Amino acid sequence: MAWDNKDAALRLIAVRESLGFKNQDDFAEKLDLTKSTYNPFETGKRSLSMQAARRIRERFGVSVDYLLFGDIGQPKEALAQELGPRPGAKPTKTPKRQRKART
């Protein structure tokens, strides 16, 4: 799926409005951004920065995949479990089950 600033801008507007923010000033303030930094994201003049997308995710629980690409799906459960929260990190070993002693 291609990265489209205009589509991302429309999703950003929809997210802002659905969260109850009627104007860019208030939303930008909640993200610790100035309106002059935030406005180009919403007008499609600039790509949404990863920093701003991360703040929206952390503060409002909106997926970065959704913001940037419109993807509402999640990775397959088996893949997500295999990768874990930090792909590439060394997996921790789970202790082997001990056999019960015979009586």
- Map out the domains of the chain as residue ranges: 5-71
Per-residue model confidence as pLDDT tens digits over 84-102: 666 556 655 555 566 666 6
Q: Which two tokens mark 17?
A: 């409005």
pTM, full prediction? 0.69
Per-residue model confidence as pLDDT tens digits over 18-64: 999 999 999 999 999 999 999 999 999 999 999 999 999 999 999 89
- Count the neighbouring beta carbons within 10 Å of the beta carbon of residue 7: 15
Q: Where does the pLDDT of residue 70 fall: very low under 50, low under 70, confident under 90, or very high at 90 and above? A: confident
Which 3 state secondary structure label does DSSP give 3?
A: coil
Q: Where does the pLDDT of residue 79 fall: very low under 50, low under 70, confident under 90, or very high at 90 and above? A: low
> Domain 5-71 - what CATH class?
mainly alpha
Instruction: Give the Cα-Cα-Cα angle 43, 1, 76 (nearest 5 degrees).
Output: 120
